[in-house]
Amino acid sequence: MSDPSTPPLGYIQKYLASEHNIPFEDLVGTRTFESLDLDSIAQVEMFVTLSDHYRIELDDSLASADMTLAQTADMVGEALLEKAAVPHQEGAADNRTNQAHS
């Protein structure tokens, strides 16, 4: 499950099947956390896992019992788009430092 190119919904499905022993066929995008019997702690853990996996920031305070897997995947997708739109600041700083020493 460590491939960051895995689409968010697919990653969420694999994660929940693996970590919570939920049958994969039950993990359709329209299912809510509540309908899967996942409590708020499980949701926060999943948000942290998604943040780490995709190297993005997700606000776990937005998680709710009636949030669907597809909505969660969309949130990850939006964060990935935002991440792609922001220039990599560390690399820019490194380039300026290297140019100053040339």
> For residue range 57-66, what is the model confidence (pLDDT) as tens digits?
999 898 899 9
8 Å CB contact between 58 and 50:
yes
> Mean of the pLDDT values across residues 43-67?
94
pLDDT category at 5 given cuts 50, 70, 90 is: confident
Residue 4: per-residue pLDDT? 74
Whether residue 22 is predicted with pLDDT greater than 80 in this model: the reply is yes
Contacts of 68 (CB under 8 A, 6+ apart): 29, 30, 31, 32
CA distances from 42 to 6, 19, 33 (A): 21, 10, 9
DSSP letter at 32 equals B
Q: Give the whole-angstrom CA distance, residue 10 versus residue 36.
A: 16
